[in-house]
Amino acid sequence: MIELQEVSDCCSCPEKWIGHQCHCYFISNERKTWYESFHFCAAQNSSLLQLQSRDELQGFMNSSQSFFWIGLSYSEEHGAWLWKDGSSPNQDLFPSSETLNPKSCIAYNPRQNILDEPCENTNGFICKK
């Protein structure tokens, strides 16, 4: 069970979205593939979560043990793991990214674990805007 709380009043978020540190988050327990999750978020004028810091989700997702798709994927063109905006992930967040399977997509657990899974697998996902 995920504990959801309104913890920020500096932004106005749509219904079923959580306001936190001036961003809006949608946490889906509906399981989708990475690509379905990506397109769902895009249809909501948002994107799959791009983590800025280890504590970004602290305060409203602390208790979750589930894994969620995030917006990190392998770019064959650049030979590196990149966020969907083309930026590189912070090595403090993902120190072992070089050992991940480049054919996979990344699922994240709010307890700060990452998992490389086939993109066709289904997980919950987190959108951010």
| pLDDT confidence of residue 97 | 63
Residue-range domain boundaries for the chain: 29-50+64-128
pTM: 0.82
Homologous superfamily assigned to 29-50+64-128 = Mannose-Binding Protein A, subunit A (3.10.100.10)
Query: pLDDT band at 6, cuts 50/70/90?
Result: very low
Q: What is the pLDDT of residues 65-98, one digit of tens each?
A: 789 999 988 888 888 888 988 898 887 777 666 6
Confidence check: pLDDT of 115 > 70 = yes
| pLDDT confidence of residue 123 | 95
Residue 103 has, within 13 A of its CA and on its CB side, a CA count of: 2
Complete DSSP assignment for 47-113: EE----STTTTTTTSTT--S-EEEEEEEETTTTEEEETTSPPPPTTT-TTGGGS-TTEEEEEETTTE
Residues near 37 by beta carbon (within 8 Å), at least 6 away in sequence: 28, 48, 69, 123, 125
| pLDDT confidence of residue 9 | 53
Confidence check: pLDDT of 55 > 80 = no
Residue 28 has, within 13 A of its CA and on its CB side, a CA count of: 24
Query: pLDDT band at 30, cuts 50/70/90?
Result: very high
